[in-house]
């Protein structure tokens, strides 16, 4: 990679980073002259725009609360087709709409002859700057969508996976008052597994409130919220009695020793979330966790996620597939991998009021993949 390539400003990406357009005004309006010129080209052309997701409920986890989630929506046009991608930017990941747009402006896809060159393109994109994993994932998702559309196949099919083997997805209930937790539990009726965010002093109240309404299996995510390993272990034993089936990231992400101690003693699988971002993070975690939570926005997208699945399996690690608050674009992309994993937590699109994509569905609690090409998402 030459530095001149890295510094090249993507001329087609003209939107200023602060602009917010309405969903229906996406750049790729089919009737526009610009669009037809752009999409009929055998060069790839990248466009993107910020978009703010409105959450149905204020979302609280161990460390903070929020009511919206910023995302950046991406399109890559090639040979009359358009691939969709998305970067989701919860604040704790350290990316913003501005940082994503700044990153995307540096991406020059015109140097590559085809979207099929995934290994080369994504290696180039990854080398543009460190981190920026959500921005990188937005490119990865749009390229996979294009590859699927060119071949006329869904991504799960190109990966050799059986769409009937999707797992159920959990539906997340954040930290909240007893009344809201009760209300959310009732709203979660269509879902067969609930994921509960814990890590504050209300943990027992939360679980007991849910248990007063339903006996569905629960995933518990502590988001590094527990500080004492013996206390964490005691809680985990209690949680098992409450019908919890796994615990995510009980303690600080760098404290592998405590996690190894817990994993050795825990009656439930201990899953790394904040402790694992990318492929190279997996090997050091072996022994400290029972499994890992893979999220496209952490790991730069589908290609690296697929590699992580192979490496996790080789190390006998269980695999959870998670998400951020995202539209049905990024959720549908992640769902393509779901027949290959153990537990899915792909509810990000179910928690928002202004999803601008139609994609993967949840039917009887289970992820339902469609026959649509690519990531299986269309614009609403």
Query: Site residues (CB under 8 A) for a second copy?
Result: 116-120, 122, 147, 151-153, 157-158, 160-162, 165, 279-280, 282-283, 303, 307, 310-311, 313-315, 339-340
Q: Please, what's the b/e burial string for 195-232 (b: 16 or more CB within 10 A of its CB; e: otherwise)? A: bbbbbbeebeebbebbeebeebebbbbbbbbbeebeeb
Q: Where do we find the tokens 């090249």? A: 8
How near is the Cβ of 319 to a second copy at its closest, in Å?
14
Instruction: Count Cβ atoms within 10 A of the Cβ of residue 304 and give its class: 0-12 exposed, 13-18 middle, 19 or more buried.
Output: buried
Query: From the CB of 157, what's the least distance to a second copy, in Å?
Result: 5
- 362 pairs with which residues across the strands? 367
Let me know if 140 is exposed, middle or buried by CB neighbors in 10 A (0-12, 13-18, 19+). Answer: buried
Q: For residues 209 and 224, what is the distance between their CA atoms, to the nearest angstrom? A: 22
- The CA distance from 323 to 295, in Å, is 5
- Of the chain, the end-to-end C-alpha distance in Å amounts to 38
Q: Which of these, 136, 157, 142, lies nearest to 304 by C-alpha position? A: 136
Smallest distance, a second copy to C-beta of residue 291, A: 16
Instruction: Please give the full DSSP string across 85-137, using - where no structure is assigned.
Output: EEEE--GGG---HHHHHHHHHT--GGGSS-TT-HHHHHHHHHHHSSS-HHHHH
Min dist. Cβ of residue 103 to a second copy (A): 21
- Nearest to a second copy of 208, 371 (CB atom): 371
- What is the rounded distance in angstroms from the CA atom of residue 284 to the CA atom of residue 191? 34
Q: CB of 28: closest distance to a second copy in angstroms?
A: 24
Q: Please, what is the minimum distance in Å from the beta carbon of residue 371 to a second copy?
A: 12
Give the other-Cβ count within 10 Å of 24's Cβ.
9
Of the two residues 252 and 311, which places its CB atom closer to a second copy in the complex? 311
Helix (H, G, I), strand (E, B) or coil at 271: strand
Least separation in angstroms between residue 118's CB and a second copy is 3
Report yes or no: 286 and 315 within 8 Å, Cβ to Cβ: yes
Question: Which one, of 151, 156, 158, lies nearest residue 78 by Cα?
Answer: 151
Cβ proximity to a second copy: between 207 and 341 the closer is 341
Q: What is the largest CA-CA distance in the chain?
A: 65
Nearest distance from C-beta of residue 227 to a second copy, angstroms? 32
DSSP string, 229-242: HHHHHHHHHHHHHT
What is residue 67's three-state secondary structure?
A: strand
Name which of 155, 136, 133, 135 is nearest 144 in CA terms.
155
Q: Which is nearer to a second copy, 183 or 370 (CB)?
A: 370
């Amino acid at each position: 990679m030459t530095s001149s390539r890295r510094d090249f400003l993507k001329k087609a990406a003209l939107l200023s980073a602060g602009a917010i357009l309405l969903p229906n005004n996406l750049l790729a309006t089919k009737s526009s002259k610009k669009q037809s010129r752009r999409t009929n080209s055998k060069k790839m052309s990248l466009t993107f725009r910020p978009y703010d997701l409105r959450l149905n409920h204020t979302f609280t986890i161990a460390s903070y609360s929020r009511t919206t989630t910023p995302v950046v929506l991406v399109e890559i046009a090639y040979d009359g087709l358009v691939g969709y991608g998305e970067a989701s930017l919860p604040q704790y990941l350290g990316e913003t709409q501005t940082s994503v747009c700044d990153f995307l402006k540096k991406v020059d896809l015109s140097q590559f002859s085809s979207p099929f060159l995934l290994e080369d393109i994504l290696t180039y994109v990854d080398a543009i700057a460190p981190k920026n994993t959500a921005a990188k994932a937005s490119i990865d998702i749009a390229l996979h969508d294009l590859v699927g559309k060119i071949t006329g196949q869904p991504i799960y099919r190109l990966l050799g996976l059986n769409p009937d083997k999707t797992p159920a997805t959990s539906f997340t209930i954040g930290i909240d008052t007893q009344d809201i937790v009760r209300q959310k539990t009732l709203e979660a009726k269509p879902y067969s597994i609930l994921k509960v965010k814990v890590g504050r002093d209300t943990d027992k109240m939360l679980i007991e409130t849910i248990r007063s309404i339903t006996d569905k299996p629960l995933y518990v995510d502590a988001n590094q919220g527990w500080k004492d390993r013996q206390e964490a272990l005691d809680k985990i034993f209690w949680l098992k009695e409450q019908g919890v089936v796994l615990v995510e990231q009980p303690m600080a992400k760098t404290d592998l020793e405590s996690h190894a101690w817990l994993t050795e003693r825990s009656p439930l699988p201990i899953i790394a979330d904040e402790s694992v971002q990318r492929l190279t993070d997996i090997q050091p975690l072996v022994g400290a966790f029972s499994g890992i939570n893979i999220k496209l926005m952490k790991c730069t997208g589908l290609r690296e996620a697929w590699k992580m699945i192979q490496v996790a399996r080789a190390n006998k690690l269980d695999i959870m597939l998670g998400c951020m608050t995202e539209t049905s674009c990024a959720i549908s992309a992640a769902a393509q991998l779901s027949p290959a994993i153990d537990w899915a937590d792909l509810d990000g699109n179910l928690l928002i009021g202004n999803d601008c994509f139609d994609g993967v569905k949840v039917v009887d609690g289970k992820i339902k993949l469609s026959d649509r090409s690519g990531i299986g998402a269309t614009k609403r």
